[in-house]
A and B are shown apart, each in its own frame.
Chain A
Amino acid sequence: MASTTATGKGTGRRSLNMVLFYVFVVIFVFVSVFPLLWVFKMSIVTKSELYAAPPTILPQSLSGANWTQVLGDPAFQKALINSTIIAGVTTLICLFFGSLTAYAIARLRFRFKSTVLTLILAISFFPAVAIIAPLFIQFTALGIIDTLASVIITDTVFALPLTIWLLVAFFRELPVDLEDAAKVDGATTIQAFRKVIVPLAAPGVFTTAILTFIYAWNEFLFANTFLFDPSTQPVTVVIPNFATIYTVDYGAQAAASVIVTVPLVILVLFFQRRIVSGLTAGAVKG
């Protein structure tokens, strides 16, 4: 594709094209990261600079007050821990059930495979808000409102299709011969899955884990519905309400926003190749 520009035309036009292309790339990258950079700037300047008009482009008077305040706040620390527990446990549960289901779909033959696939796909089209009232009533009856379990359960349901979808794509890429060899040697289906597929699929499983974790870390609707006790809330619920806790402390809110997105940005930068292959796995074949 690099040679699409006709070689017969002058090199001048070609290099102009290249310049325009890179201008486009720079603008695109800038627009994508601008809010994070700007809000970071808002979080590290003094109060007087934050309210300065016109706003300063580059930070002039630095202050770590917002960061120390947010990081030292026990409520925010609790929220970070809650988010980590919710996302971590959801990821583990999804990987366990998801990998079993994905293996059966990718490798085994059974009659209702297409029904199963349709059901799983239907969940990704499902508007979660449609079931918050019935679930709220049921969770109240079960006594799990205001516990992390309520959100872990609902996040699991809505992350499972993603987990299964990705794992099916990864399992299908593995050679069938190895499991066949294991089965010839007397291994059962489950043993072949555990001893052969799971270790081989480790990179794919890891990618799936990252994407599932990000999904659960970012979830807001269920957490905002089932968790009204502040000590159970994850960061997604706590940060928008910062204004009321700190009586409109925008600097603290900016710092907190940056703090919860930085781990995600680092994950994304480290594993960008894998994440992209995971995100596009379903779409291309679909």
Chain B
Amino acid sequence: MKSGAIVIAILVVATMFGLVSKSNRGRFRVKKNFHPILSRAEIGADLGSVATVLQFSSAFCAPCRATRQILENLTPQFPGIAHIEIDAESHLELVRRLKVHQTPTTLFLDANGQEIGRAVGAPKKSQLVAVLEKLHGAAHVH
């Protein structure tokens, strides 16, 4: 049956798409060729002395709230790492320049404000702990 095959094909392709996007959600990715440097003026808040976690959110986005809660609880445990939340809709210039395509997108900046990597979509707590420990550890080595 032709339409039966079409239905199966749609479901298979959609499942693959869904699984890929799910596994990419919230995963920390190191920036390879695009390293924007952000200043205090652009962000509107002080950068952390060790690193900055810059979260782009939009109003009423539920995963953004969850990410904020995790980060607000976590970052105080890492001295020198600041958590800054930015409303994407009121910072569209920045959103375009940084190529933020969805909320939440969480950028990880070094002490100079240069992006090291980012997580697109809501990260799990364990994923954030791993990144923060890495940022914190890296700062102590230097």
Instruction: Report whether chain A binds chain B.
Output: no
Binding site for A on B (CB under 8 A): none
